[in-house]
A and B are shown apart, each in its own frame.
Chain A
Amino acid sequence: MDDLKAIIESLLFAAEIPLKIDKIKTILELEDRDVIRDALTSLAEEYESGKRGFFLNEVAGGFQLRTRPEYGQWIRRLKETRPARLSRAAMETLSIVAYKQPILRSDVEYLRGVDCGGTLRTLLERRLVRIMGRKDLPGRPMIYGTTREFLELFDLKDLTELPSLKDLKDLGEAWPNDST
């Protein structure tokens, strides 16, 4: 593969949105759009004849590498098993339960200032939070706490290993020279 083609391939690979020919032209400081178009055509043919895992798709006025549709089933499996992240809302709710347990939903909601039914349900389903019991109040509201899975997720021996707010405060502010 000649250098220009390889460089264009690397740009296609790293690009977040479909790459326009003009953009490639600017990045590589080329005069000629045709050279780029030829390289793209040649890449597309190569992917096709080589029957690779991905192909070159002309889309939304640009070019983008995409996995072959016939492999969609495998990719979906990959995405299903991908370690998910917790949303910010779930993270906040979880942290309140972790630090303030045993705690009532109404207290979680007081602290977060929003309804937490949905995030608590998510956390219950993921077995990070459990119902420890019911409080002797009108309506017998449920009391929430964390689970063994919670400890495992964060690799904690027990709740005493949770870092405290003081630990975090002791670290001070992030170093100003590091642009985050």
Chain B
Amino acid sequence: MNKVVRNVDEALVGIEDGMTLMLGGFGLCGIPENSISQLVKLGVKNLTCISNNAGVDDFGLGLLLQTKQVKKMISSYVGENDEFERQMLSGELEVDLIPQGSLAERCRAGGAGIPAFFTPAGYGTEVAEGKEVRIFNGKPHILESALTADFAIVKAWKGDTEGNLIYRETAMNFNPMMAMAGKITIAEVEELVPAGELDPNFIHTPGIFVQRIFKGEKFEKRIEQRTVRKRN
């Protein structure tokens, strides 16, 4: 089933003001760079963005914050971003902070038709406020609900024309669960190959979860914390 669209313009058709988007990535690693640039170009506003992080001031989701296109962020950690901080403290930006594991599981649940599940994470903290608590095996757990999005935008290493995706190293992170949880899922890939070229035993995201796929024009793949050791 051919999912290929020609370019990022075609890929993002239908994204409108006020929609909820999921965006894959951890820090600046494995983020859909080309789609984020296109979102800036489109100028869609009042977005709710579900993403583990919020980028940095001049890269990643930080770009959408600069242009004030984001109404609400749903994330686990939003440091390293001055504009974010300013908007958050001034009340321009709503922020919903979620434990990282609960965020990942809630996205998976959304894609897997599990409306809610119990987790111990956050019990006894402000994260648990207003949530049902139940004891299992002598330990309190809180009920967390599924997350879904109008569009999920993920970044993969390679993809085929059927929308099957593989990720590289830790650039996988949130991308597979978000790919499952989008009403429409858009994948931008570094390399797009014909169906049959990827080994069917080793696909990370089966194409059934992906509605549109395109080869990204350019990947900067910026490094956030360059840590190295000296050669002897």
Do chains A and B interact in one complex? no
